[in-house]
Structure 1
């Protein structure tokens, strides 16, 4: 069957997803750049296989270290965006973003490469992310054990990665992280997170909401309750209480022209209402769209988002 006769579930500049599970990806969203030394930031990165069975990898980032430095640095576990369908830790814009974040914030970063849908339907991305998080906080690599502070771990994600961050934070809050010396996840950052639900919010754009739910149905056919599965709708009936979120601080960033923004703001309010004892911060950029700070990192407003993230990591 040719593409002209198939029903489109979701169509954007990054990919076209059909209801029959076929996908056409934009070539630029699948490009990668190698790890290594970044002359602009002084950050060094390397790729590490974390699961031979699945071929899962992470990209580790280390800022310049002076001599035999003994001060341990916070650890950021980062999850890239891309609708669960495109992108990778090595995608140029995410590699550039993490290099900049590591240099500015003086952190060690673990950027997670999870399997992509629809070839690997959800929950594969969640399973890979959970396995990578457990690997990261075990201090398995010398960059983490020698330079990382397992008492100051942060979860950071963009778009679909922000959704993953929420799910990791809930999972840790409910079940903990197995380790000889349990790590401490201090903070959680959701950047333009992707959420949805079976019922459209009044402030949501109807066309995007419908297409987003169609996308979810294709990439996660076994989801419980469709778009009211707790993994895409944290406020759904039966979802784990948001009071279970791990960490002491939460930052959610949204953009006023992003159709996902109403769900991000509602998520903050729901966390506050849940009785969660941490500090909730919400930061919205006016006049910008989804993921603008990754697409155009040199703009003034992108700099404001980076400043907010860096300050959060430094607890300023």
Structure 2
């Protein structure tokens, strides 16, 4: 069910990792190395991926390499939104990938690429088509962000908010489906690129969209999905029941699970972007989730047919 574990999300973006607490990402690097080792202990064969970086910054990737973080991982990931937030044009995608290839030989995943329909739904459809043309065959994974629009009654996971004008509101228009579940023009375009292109869908705690999302992904021909299990949510009442339900619903897909969000009471600062007080606790959460949902294959107790026959003969 789980094909990969992604360690954090956009660590070089202040919406997901507080640079005032960890300005050189030293704490982040140590945390990821601990988590990678813990995951390897739970399942040595599972692919471990550095959380997708946004912006795409070869300098940050070089820093992770210098810290020895990349030595612990099997792939790296980038996120790009050139029609919404990035300060580069969509046709520069190949150059952005090459910048990261100049730093590491690890496989590169585009674990989030998307275009909002904030300005016009036709723009989102064109952006999807052009992104696919530029990225297919260029990287090892492409995951479109996202399946659903973010409900307007919820809050986007960002530190920018309304201070940057329309930038905040674009978060709510990234889906192939509108908030009410009706399809946008980009949905039909997306279906032309599956299964080569996967999808990203974050499910909130006890998310009401889970079952409908599964139906839509199967209808679209999606075979691999990126989602998350929140360390912070693990402290909610009945958290494991929700995690079990979520992962059971997604069992027909190849899932990349992103582990992120610091519990407020376990951070240096009381915020989900904070470096944890005890990084080993994050590592333990990752290992526990892998042991629960993607345990290593147990072969020591497997009895071959010849062994069974020999036992019967005795």
Scaled to the shorter chain, the TM-score interval is 0.3 to 0.5
TM-score normalised by structure 2 residue count: 0.41
Larger radius of gyration: 2
| Structure number with higher helix proportion | 2
TM-score normalised by structure 1 residue count: 0.41
| Structure number with higher strand proportion | 1
